[in-house]
A and B are shown apart, each in its own frame.
Chain A
Amino acid sequence: MSSLTDPAGAPTRRQRWLSILAKAPAERLEALWHALGTVPDYSILRRPEIGLVMVKGRVSGSGSAFCAGEMTATRAAVRLTTGEVGFGYVGGRSPRQAELIAAIDALGQRPEWQERLEGAVIAPLVTEAEARRRLLASRSAATKVEFFTVAREAGT
């Protein structure tokens, strides 16, 4: 989808942030948000709402799309007093997380906040997600089969 990415093909900052924030553990995001200290006021534009997204699969992984089943999701929208509107989407039923994501999305549209949010919220979440992935991968890697030939087992 061409609208997903900027012309260079890299995901836009907003898209990247929203994806990272949605995958963050709720309590961790809450903690990082509190650690920011005083943040500009925002008003709720759309109260957090729980709904469903139909997850699509593909036949044999790469063919026609089909409906694999739904997942729950929560969305919210907020507006800063300075007018920026932020949207929050997160898988599962997490009203508070959807609201926080929307608030960070709105704040991120103010240039003076971008660097601070990148450093204080986004970067730690990326590092932690990477560590979780590495742990999962290394546990699986320990179960990878090393095949031996009979000759090698005999030590020749």
Chain B
Amino acid sequence: MYVAVKGGETAINHSLELLADKRRGERSVAELSLEQIDQQLSLAVDRVMTEGSCYDRSLAALAIKQARGDLIEAIFLLRAYRTTLPRFGDSLPIDTTEMLAERRISATFKDVPGGQVLGPTFDYTHRLLDFSLAAAGERPLAPTAPTEEPLPLPRVGDILQRDGLLEPPSQGDDGHDLTRQPLMFPASRPLRLQNLARGDEGFLLALGYSTQRGYGNNHPFVGEIRYGHVPVSFVPEELGFAIELGEIEVTECDMVNQFAGSHDVPPQFTRGYGLAFGHAERKAMAMALVDRALRADELSETATSPAQDEEFVLAHSDNVEASGFVQHLKLPHYVDFQSELVTVRALREEVERRNREAAAAAAALDKAAE
């Protein structure tokens, strides 16, 4: 039976007010400022900017506050906001050799030009809870060391590439942009990278991990990870020359992978690439592993695992889409469910009728046999 339903308006309004109240929390506790979120939860801001695909620290901080710290909800808010803005154009490609690096490490060469710069990293913490943080108190400033004029940092990949041991990356700009055209398969590598850059860190981390455990393994090494500040250049139409709009923070991972060669290519190392806004090493590394796994076809490898399946990976990487489709199940499905209910009842009646008939037939047979 179908009955048109209206109502719930008051309940919805009160729910929104309750949400706002819960967001604020206990009134005796000081309210968070956007500056505090930006400065003290900066890696959450970085993740929201990366997966929200919009670099703006204060907007991301606002989204985190509004979403009560639910980062996927915050990413959704940022994505929704960006749709209200006009596009001025594309930047010139950022040049990460010009990066003012806060961190730069290579797991392939100890004596990499420019050195191993650890920067701010959790890697050497003991992962023991630091209860001194539970109390307020000023922290000492970080130590400094004399430094020469920062020089361009040569890329580890470029050094290997000169010897022919590492494949050079393809060149060009196919102009594809996922925010302008729908995702089509097969996708070019630039399009895949855009998808992965916006993709959910957890999803990519799990897929990258799956390649390491044997589901599409390609023996990765961290050629290099760098995190720091790069200028963004843009050519305004009315000026006709490039100007810098500002500096953004990015994390880059160049992963180097073993490759036995194919019929056209001699044995050499191949590469996977990861790039994220802010300091997001886990994301950049996972992205690089998945980027390399998705090149199976191009490198004549047999694609046997989920991480090598372009449609599987690219169609499920976006957490705004995934969250929307999973959570839409909460919406009223009263009519859908009613029709399923009618069908299941009819099927059960049919089965019960057949069981009754079979029982009657068996009883008749038993009687006849007596």
**Nearest Cβ in chain B — how far from A130, in angstroms?**
10
In chain B, residues 59-101, which have Cβ atoms closer than 8 Å to a Cβ of chain A?
59, 82, 85-94, 96-97, 100-101
Residue A156 lies at the interface, judged by CB distance under 8 Å to chain B: no
Given known pairs A52-B86, A65-B93, A141-B144, the reply for A59 and B189 (CB within 8 Å) is yes
In chain B, residues 221-269, which have Cβ atoms closer than 8 Å to a Cβ of chain A?
228-229, 231-232, 234-236, 238-248, 250, 252, 254
Rounded to whole angstroms, the CA-CA distance of A126 and B168 in the bound complex is 37
Pairwise interchain contact B194-A51, C-beta atoms closer than 8 A: no
Residue B142 lies at the interface, judged by CB distance under 8 Å to chain A: yes
Rounded to whole angstroms, the CA-CA distance of A144 and B254 in the bound complex is 20
| Contact among A4, A5, A52 for B88, CB-based, below 8 A | A52
Residue B119 lies at the interface, judged by CB distance under 8 Å to chain A: yes
Rounded to whole angstroms, the CA-CA distance of A147 and B158 in the bound complex is 23
Interface size class of B (residues with CB under 8 A): 35 or more
Rounded to whole angstroms, the CA-CA distance of A137 and B279 in the bound complex is 16
Pairwise interchain contact B150-A69, C-beta atoms closer than 8 A: no
Chain B residues with Cβ below 8 Å from A71 are 54-56, 91, 232, 245-246, 248
Chain A residues with Cβ below 8 Å from B168 are 63
Residue B42 lies at the interface, judged by CB distance under 8 Å to chain A: no
Residue A19 lies at the interface, judged by CB distance under 8 Å to chain B: yes
| Contact among A64, A68, A91 for B169, CB-based, below 8 A | A64
Pairwise interchain contact B246-A66, C-beta atoms closer than 8 A: no
Write the chain B residue with the least CB distance to A19: B244
Rounded to whole angstroms, the CA-CA distance of A133 and B235 in the bound complex is 25
Rounded to whole angstroms, the CA-CA distance of A53 and B247 in the bound complex is 13
Write the chain B residue with the least CB distance to A85: B238
In chain A, residues 73-91, which have Cβ atoms closer than 8 Å to a Cβ of chain B?
73, 75, 77, 87, 89-91
Pairwise interchain contact A1-B190, C-beta atoms closer than 8 A: no
In chain B, residues 287-325, which have Cβ atoms closer than 8 Å to a Cβ of chain A?
none
Pairwise interchain contact B273-A60, C-beta atoms closer than 8 A: yes
Write the chain A residue with the least CB distance to B118: A143
Given known pairs A52-B82, A56-B90, A64-B173, the reply for A18 and B144 (CB within 8 Å) is no
Residue A117 lies at the interface, judged by CB distance under 8 Å to chain B: no
Please choose the segment from B27-35, B174-182, B204-212 that sits at the chain A interface, where 4 or more of its residues have CB less than 8 A away.
B174-182
Pairwise interchain contact A136-B242, C-beta atoms closer than 8 A: no
Residue B275 lies at the interface, judged by CB distance under 8 Å to chain A: yes
In chain A, residues 139-156, which have Cβ atoms closer than 8 Å to a Cβ of chain B?
139-145, 147
Write the chain B residue with the least CB distance to A143: B118
Pairwise interchain contact A22-B245, C-beta atoms closer than 8 A: yes
Residue with the greatest number of chain B CB neighbours at <10 A, chosen from A51, A53, A60, A133: A60
Chain A residues with Cβ below 8 Å from B236 are 75, 87, 89
Chain B residues with Cβ below 8 Å from A7 are none
Rounded to whole angstroms, the CA-CA distance of A135 and B169 in the bound complex is 34
Rounded to whole angstroms, the CA-CA distance of A58 and B87 in the bound complex is 20
- What is the 8 Å Cβ interface bit string for chain A, positions 78-113, against chain B (1 contact, 0 not)? 000000000101111100000000000000000000
- Besides A60-B254, A63-B171, A73-B245, 10 other A-B contacts (C-beta < 8 A): A51-B85, A54-B91, A56-B92, A62-B158, A64-B190, A67-B90, A67-B197, A87-B238, A141-B146, A145-B118
Can you name 6 A-B residue pairings with CB atoms under 8 Å?
Answer: A53-B91, A56-B91, A60-B155, A64-B170, A67-B176, A141-B147
Q: Which chain A residues have a beta carbon within 8 Å of chain B's beta carbons?
A: 1, 3-5, 12, 14-15, 18-19, 22-23, 49-73, 75, 77, 87, 89-93, 133-145, 147
